């Protein structure tokens, strides 16, 4: 059963557009300038983080989508152009998004496979928890040589537990199309809402941080 599973690994590095937004946030002109623009950029940063995570997750659950990378490249270009006050072509981005949505909806068995992997990863999570408990106890009660082996196995069991738990989260989101919805929400904010927030009267801007 362990061979019939799929473990997802979280991303450990930022995308280029996340780094660009962070760099812009830290510039003196942005910090000392208009407060409403700074807050709008903070919201864009939150959407960028969500989009990057969703792209990463989609790459792990989709087997034949050819539009994930190109759409992310277009978003990178759009964010760069937006922060440089240059024109953005929204039609190209939305067309690529629609192509990705069509590909995902026509991908046979994608959600069924995720459901099967959720079952196997739930079993794997249970085994990993038992492994952590057993090897931790052995590490504390056994002679030095066995304790060292138990310590290594505890680390391995913990790593498997974390990966299996994250995989359950990713496949669960895939069942309800959370990734593509999050990407679409980020694109809508970038193309429609962000320019309005930056251009509007600062007194009318009421920003409330949101957590997922």
Over residues 153-195, the pLDDT tens digits come to: 999 999 999 999 999 999 999 999 999 999 999 999 999 999 9
Q: What is the pLDDT of residues 34-81, one digit of tens each?
A: 688 889 999 999 999 999 999 999 999 988 778 999 999 999 999 999
Alpha-carbon distance 114 to 171, whole Å?
Answer: 5
Instruction: Give the Cα separation of 16 and 30 in Å (integer).
Output: 19
What's the DSSP call for residue 4?
S
The pLDDT score that the predictor gives to residue 27 is 84
Q: What pTM was estimated for this model as a whole?
A: 0.85
Closest CA to 34 of 207, 190, 162: 207
Q: Which of 72-81, 101-110, 126-135 has the lowest mean pLDDT?
A: 101-110
Question: How confident is the model at residue 204, as a pLDDT?
Answer: 45
Where in the chain are the domains? 16-204
Residue 150 Cα to chain centre, angstroms: 34
Of 145-149, 185-189, 196-200, which range is least confident?
196-200
- CA torsion, points 212, 101, 186, 49, in degrees to nearest 10? 60
**Model confidence at 127, in pLDDT bands (50, 70, 90)?**
very high
How far apart (Å, rounded) are the C-alpha atoms in residues 66 and 99? 9
User: What is the per-residue pLDDT for 74?
Assistant: 97
Residue recorded with tokens 């794997």: 124
């Amino acid at each position: 059963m362990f061979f019939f599973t799929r473990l997802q690994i979280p991303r450990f590095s930022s995308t280029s557009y996340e780094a660009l937004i962070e760099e812009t946030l830290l510039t003196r002109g942005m910090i000392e300038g208009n407060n409403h623009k700074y807050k709008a950029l903070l919201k864009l940063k939150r959407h960028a983080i969500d989009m990057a995570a969703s792209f990463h997750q989609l790459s792990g659950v989709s087997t034949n989508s050819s539009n994930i990378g190109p759409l992310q490249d277009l978003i990178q270009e759009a964010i760069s152009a937006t922060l440089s006050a240059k024109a953005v072509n929204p039609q190209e981005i939305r067309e690529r998004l629609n192509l990705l949505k069509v590909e995902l909806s026509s991908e046979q068995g994608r959600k069924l496979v995720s459901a099967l992997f959720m079952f196997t990863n739930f079993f794997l999570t249970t085994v990993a928890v038992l492994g952590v408990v057993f090897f931790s106890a052995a590490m504390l009660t056994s002679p030095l040589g066995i304790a060292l082996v138990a310590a290594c196995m505890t680390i391995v069991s913990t790593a498997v537990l974390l990966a299996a738990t994250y995989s359950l989260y990713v496949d669960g989101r895939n069942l309800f199309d959370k990734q593509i919805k999050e990407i679409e929400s980020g694109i809508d904010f970038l193309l429609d809402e962000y320019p309005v927030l930056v251009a509007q009267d600062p007194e009318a801007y009421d920003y409330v941080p949101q957590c997922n």
